[in-house]
A and B are shown apart, each in its own frame.
Chain A
Amino acid sequence: MEATTRKRLEAVNLTINGEAVRALAGQSIMQAALDAGIRIPNLCSDGRIEPVGSCRLCIVEIDGVKGFQTSCSTPVAEGQVVQTDTEPLRDARRLILELMLSDHNAYCLPPCQSGCPDNLDIPGYVGAIADDNPRESVRIIKQRLPFPRILGRVCPRPCEDVCRRGENDQPISICSIKRFAGDAAAEMGFSDLPFPQAEPTGKRIAVVGSGPAGLTAAYYLALKGHAVTILESLPEPGGMLRYAIPAFRLPTDVLNEELEELWSLGVELKTNTAMGEDFDIDDLLEEGYDAVFLGLGAHGDHQMMIPGEELDGVVSSVDFLRRVRAGEKVDVGKRVVVVGGGFTAIDAARTAVRLGAEESTIVYRRGRDEMPAHESEVEEAEAEGVRLQLLAIPEKIEGSGGRATGLTSLKAELVRSEKGGRPRPTAIKGSEFTIEADTIIVAIGQKPKLCYEEEGRRVLFLPEREGVRTTKWGTIEADPDTLQTARPQVFAGGDVVSGAATVIEAVAAGRKAASTMDAYLKGEDVVRAAARLQEEQPVFLDIKQEPVEKASRQPMPVLCIENCCDDFTEVELGYAHDKAILESSRCMQCVCQAEASCALRSLGIEYGVTENRFEGRMHPVPALDDSNPVISRQYEKCIVCGACASICDQLPAAQAVELCGTGMDTHVEGAFNRGLEETTCVFCGHCVDTCPTGALDNRMSMDLRTLPLRAGPEGPQEVRRVNTVCCYCGVGCSLTLHVADGRVIEVSADDHSGTNLGMLCVKGRYGFDFIHHPDRLTQPLVRRDGELVPASWDEALKEVSGALLRIREEYGSEALGTMASGRCTNEDDYLMQKFARTVFGNNNVDHCARL
């Protein structure tokens, strides 16, 4: 040993990437490079063990040596000239990564989540329903969306378009599962809030507009302890949810019930109070509001700009739907034409059917596939008798005596522009045709309405003196990241900023505004708060996970056609319990809990590997008993680097896992391929520690760890690392506690330790959850009538000191004894013996040294 120590002290000079590097003889090139601040990519290297050398990503070029050499296992030599990052090396590494990933049967993050404007944790809440736990499902949803019952009915579900299950059979019914979760939880009487409401901050916030953006902002601001008042110009809250979406899609009761939670948080509501007419921004700030959120929505209609639009019987969809929803008697006549292809057009056409129209026709410029409305809505409309007139461009509204009588259109064809982009509908000359109509409903889009009528004049109610600027598209100008307007106290979001968009986009804006406004009110940096919400967009590798078995999506039960068109009863009935569980179980859970720590993923991203060039057989994965309570094994994610087997052999010297088989059949296996308990495994978890992917993971912290996906309303949580000493045996291993949200979520070995040299045992690594065990004593207890009952500290301490003083007085010092503790700190124990010796006045102090 002394001889090798001396040899290691010899200095060696070499050149790495043109830099002169001084290393010690016996060091590997990789270590020498690392010491010089040069990182060489690798997956299987672990400083605590001998080089494994299997991943081959650490290859380098050495002058005068043919071929690439693995730097982890090649020692430095005097005068060596090393290159670590040449184009051929990068090409080779990319190829190695592609080969690994072609056989890495797992996902990182799911596309459904990034496809959702609000980034809902979809695998999380769908998985909770598969586990028959609606309460947990709703808890996960409400981290980002306060209204699962509403959105579960009306969301345009962009997530389902990108669902990976769709590549196999059909996408998961994500939206309907959300509805089931919300309804089931409500039915179970689960009305308590999923998150604790913060103490009142004393700050007051005015939210103008009670649509989805305003309601969501109000919800999360109220949770943060701010006093929120919503100002709504219409008689009831909900915005477009109440005044545009018909009751057969979103029953009024459901809307009212789900908003109850908001009022129970203490949010105030003032209706029939319109901005511009009853108040302006200056008034709000003068009244003492500390910040204002503008969620005014898009209540203005786009016009067709064709002749005849001014005729009686031509109505805007917004006005039409609002009047129906407000309970006004609306006579549409026998024949109705609706112009447009979105949700609103479908809603208007279906509403017309319910108002007694014998013919209800949708006229749309493009084809069926291009309709923005969801396919299921189109199908339901057709089932109810709505006729589609596709590829038709409205030309003129026919009229007689000041009343509209029909719509004349030109037939169209879709022509691909030379510039690319969406094919444009182009009118076919001479193809005019007319559809007779008593009512023509224009549903070609909405825009914000930032003006009101005063004595026949249109008055813009956001004049520049208010400090809030508008854009040339008639929307409010707000920073896209912070949603702050040019006036710092004023934030804005939803349709009034984006122009008419979807409900879920409005919710996302409301949640974002709540975070940045909270930061603003606390005097924090708003830009930084917004950056916290930015989530790293996952890079998807085109990999080959397949569902265990094919299973079609569960159909949504609907009201039978005979019954559905007479009134505004809800058409979709929602999943029954068993169907919801069946449907959720179809979810492939395209999410890896090791996403944040996976070295394969980060190198894949670094080397731009985003698709799979290599199709072919994948290495067989052993069927596992994966019931171990501390170590999770998912060998389909294994890249067979062998680091786990090496570290198991070298650190605990347990040899519980090893590489078995040859060639394509090579795989990691526990002895006899049984449960780990039946091997020589000591559960020290070093294999988990060194695994570069999620193949081996710490089951104790899998659920506690913070994925971007599972982050709370504030976005990704920060994980703090605190170095300390283990609380179990006398070895005194140095530990790092990983802390998130006030909880210890994981333990690792502190690399800078003295005694344990980067090692831990099963207790050190996995035995930390007692800290948060519900049995913990969290308040003093005193015995009253034979029972231990909670008491205040004051009461308990007085009881202790009083009794001890009395006994010392009555029986003398020797009647008192203490026990210090081998579990407490030196400081605690020092005080305990000082207590015995100076307060009791004896040497009756002992501890478990003898036990």
Chain B
Amino acid sequence: MTNSVGDLTEADVILLIGSNTTTAHPVIAMQLNQALRRGMKLIVVDPRRTTLARKADIHLQIRGGTDIALLKGLARVVADENLQDDGFIRDRTEDYEEMLAGLGEMTVEEYAATCGVDPEDLAAAARLYAGSDHGAIAYCLGVTQHSHGTDNVRCIANLAMMTGHIGRPGTGVNPLRGANNVQGCCDMGGLVNVLPGYQPVESDEARARYEEAWGVELSPVVGKTLTEMIDAANEGSLKAMYIMGENPMMSDPDGNHVRSGLENLEFLVAQDIFLTETAQLADVVLPGATFAEKDGTFTNTERRVQRVRQAIEPLGEARPDWMILRDVANLMGARWDYDSPKDIMDEVNSLVPQYGGASYERLEACGLQWPCPDADHPGTRILHMENFICGKGKMKDVSFREADELPDEEYPFVFNTGRHLMHFHTGSMSRRSRGLDALDPEPLVDLNPEDARRLGVAEGELIRVTSRRGEITAKAMLTVRTAPGTAFLPFHYVEAAANLLTNSARDPVCKIPELKVCAVRIEKV
């Protein structure tokens, strides 16, 4: 997030795209609900009629995967009606004219028709967002999990920059991060192309810095992403994987492809707190400790680094993950002498510029938002206030393109995946929480009542959902949350694993799979 959670509700208008905040980030949703009471305006862009969409001033219920058209349509209205912030564009950005030229791809009506929304609503949304003093954009995986996710985000950045809605309180481009420490894992360099602190692996200077600290020569070659590793495992070029705290069998697209890849490995290590669907395939399973059993830090969606504190002893012989990794590394020839998570954070403080001042001593009192370069820095609530990190904000036009797999006669429904309030991710924790699982015990496929009538399916009846990659059977829930011609299923349930159906087509830049749109067939069982 360029801004902060508390700051979001200072906006006059929030443009919320591809986020079912009520279920995925409930405490942010509570704050949004409170702000709505105080008169904040809300525009929701979502193919589903979510709880917040119902409360919104404008709900743009787009056809899945048409985000580029929607965002370019909004930008076109801003430009056509001269609502842009010329001063900001002049002082802070570059290549505005080229971006503007690209908006001529379609008319506003054509953009609206492509998305399946009313052009008047589209125009009203653009006026509301651009016309406000403080307009913020918040988005989630509904924007990024597409074969054109990177381009979606570029369009969002264009819109925020042309309206000057960045670098001030109550504005910004704010991705809501999914898991407790997915932000931190990126910060720590858990990515194929960057070292900790987003230092490119291809940069000689960056590598030299880490080579000096670690005393090892580092590879300048960008690594394989998760989905690429699964492909390589299927092909046979990847022979071993060490998977810590992840469950790709449930979370990755095209589950059957994941299974065959993992089974094709010569050696698989899984380190987890439960024998997940992935761990069941492993050659060695190492028991890790839960968050309540170890010390450390998590970094949340607003870049706030916070202390995780051990409350109880690890169960049985379970051990904290860092300790296990240290011991394996040392058996393989490393000489790591970390005695505690603090020793590791000391090293992070010395190497990762954004975390320079985020020492355990300071975190003891309260969290710190990075960048926090040194011991006296108070942390950063809002990014890009004076300048963008790379100087001027570069605008870039992108062309609209459809999702990789569209419905056809054989597979006539658009299938979407996501989350429920009671569960989390692949369910390994929440499905084992008595209360949560009792509140939401079984997979239910959201199906529009019109479609259900046509298929002869009543509420609670079993349906079979089939894609080109797999099939699942689950009960139907008839609801107008999902539009006619679409169906939705969260991916928490192993008994009807949504990702057996999804498409592993990927964004060409960041390799995100297209989990939000694929084509399926639905039949009554």
Contacts and interface: CB of A to CB of B under 8 A. Distances in A.
Q: Do A and B come from one complex?
A: yes
Interface of A: 1, 628-630, 650-654, 677, 682-684, 699-700, 720, 722-734, 737, 739, 742-744, 752, 754-757, 759-764, 766-773, 775-783, 788, 791, 793, 796-801, 803-805, 807, 810-811, 813-839, 841-851
Nearest to B267: A803
Mostly helix, strand, loop or mixed at chain B's interface?
mixed
Contact of A826 (B290, B299, B309, B338): B299
Contacts of B227: 850
Contact of B223 (A732, A843, A849): A843
Nearest to B184: A826
Contacts of A769: 432-435
B304 interface: yes
B520 interface: no
Interface stretch (B70-78, B113-121, B212-220): B212-220
A20 B414 CA distance: 69
Given A653-B36, A822-B178, A828-B296, A775 B421 contact: no
Given A763-B424, A769-B433, A778-B317, A754 B286 contact: no
Given A777-B287, A819-B242, A821-B244, A730 B182 contact: yes
A760 to B, nearest CB: 7
Contact of B27 (A650, A731, A744, A821): A731
Contacts of B280: 788
Contact of B180 (A725, A838, A847): A725
A490 B464 CA distance: 76
B240 A775 contact: no
A144 B318 CA distance: 33
Nearest to B245: A821
A839 B430 contact: no
Contacts of A684: 26, 30
A684 B252 CA distance: 30
A844 B224 contact: yes
Interface string B285-314: 111101111101111111011111111110
A313 to B, nearest CB: 68
Nearest to B218: A837
Q: What range describes how many residues of B lie at the interface? A: 35 or more
Nearest to A812: B239
Nearest to A766: B435
A824 B245 contact: yes
B272 to A, nearest CB: 7
Contact of B341 (A654, A779, A825, A845): A825
Contacts of A835: 242, 325, 328-329
A91 B290 CA distance: 52
B243 interface: yes
B298 A826 contact: yes
A799 B282 CA distance: 12
Nearest to A742: B312
A63 B52 CA distance: 49
A762 B439 contact: yes
B100 interface: no
A618 to B, nearest CB: 31
A833 B188 CA distance: 8
13 contacts: A653-B36, A730-B183, A731-B28, A754-B367, A755-B302, A770-B432, A775-B274, A798-B331, A807-B266, A825-B184, A826-B298, A831-B336, A838-B329
Q: Indicate the member of A682, A811, A818, A825 with the most B CB atoms within 10 Å.
A: A825
Contacts of A826: 181, 184-185, 187-188, 296-299, 305, 345, 348
A824 B334 contact: no
Given A819-B226, A825-B296, A851-B513, 4 more contacts: A684-B26, A767-B430, A807-B239, A839-B334
Nearest to B283: A783
B192 A831 contact: no
A762 B26 contact: yes
B510 interface: yes
B251 interface: yes
B316 A653 contact: no
A755 B304 contact: yes
Q: Indicate the member of B24, B191, B240, B317 with the most A CB atoms within 10 Å.
A: B240
Contacts of B285: 777, 780-782, 788
B435 A846 contact: no
Given A650-B34, A848-B179, A819 B244 contact: yes
A845 B366 contact: no
Interface string B458-475: 000000000000000000
Interface in B333-360: 333-334, 336, 338, 341, 344-345, 347-348
Mostly helix, strand, loop or mixed at chain A's interface?
mixed
A651 B30 contact: yes
Given A759-B30, A772-B315, A832 B327 contact: no
Nearest to A749: B27
B436 A767 contact: yes
B524 interface: no
Interface stretch (B85-93, B160-168, B193-201, B385-393): B193-201
Nearest to B302: A755
A824 B244 contact: yes
Given A743-B312, A827-B344, A843 B192 contact: yes
Interface of B: 5-6, 10, 22, 24-28, 30-31, 33-34, 36-37, 144-145, 176-193, 195-196, 201, 210, 214, 216, 218-219, 221-227, 229, 232-233, 237-246, 248, 251-252, 266-267, 269, 272-275, 279-280, 282-288, 290-294, 296-302, 304-313, 315-322, 324-329, 331-334, 336, 338, 341, 344-345, 347-348, 366-367, 421-422, 424-425, 428-430, 432-436, 438-439, 510-513, 515
Contact of A829 (B33, B188, B233, B292): B188
A818 B219 contact: no
A832 B181 CA distance: 14
A253 B201 CA distance: 79
B313 A837 contact: no
Lowest 8 A-B CB distances belong to which pairs? A778-B316, A732-B300, A825-B296, A821-B245, A843-B223, A822-B182, A761-B26, A730-B177
A737 B292 contact: yes
B445 to A, nearest CB: 19
Contacts of A762: 26, 421-422, 435-436, 439
Given A816-B240, A835-B329, A796 B284 contact: yes
A797 to B, nearest CB: 6
B275 A775 contact: yes
A722 B290 CA distance: 14
A842 B219 contact: yes
Contacts of B30: 651-653, 684, 759, 761
Nearest to B293: A771
B237 A814 contact: yes
A650 B221 CA distance: 52
A733 B293 CA distance: 18
A820 B325 CA distance: 11
Contact of B193 (A779, A797, A843): A843
B325 A847 contact: no
A848 to B, nearest CB: 6
Contacts of A828: 244-245, 296, 320-322, 325
Given A629-B438, A731-B301, A755-B302, A815 B182 contact: no
B424 A729 contact: yes
A825 B179 contact: no
B27 A756 contact: yes
B311 A722 contact: yes
A778 B296 contact: no
Contacts of B327: 797
Contacts of B348: 826-827, 830
A761 B421 contact: yes
Given A778-B315, A838-B334, A843-B223, A821 B284 contact: no
Given A728-B180, A769-B435, A829-B190, A653 B283 contact: no
B290 A846 contact: no
Nearest to B222: A843
A849 B189 CA distance: 12
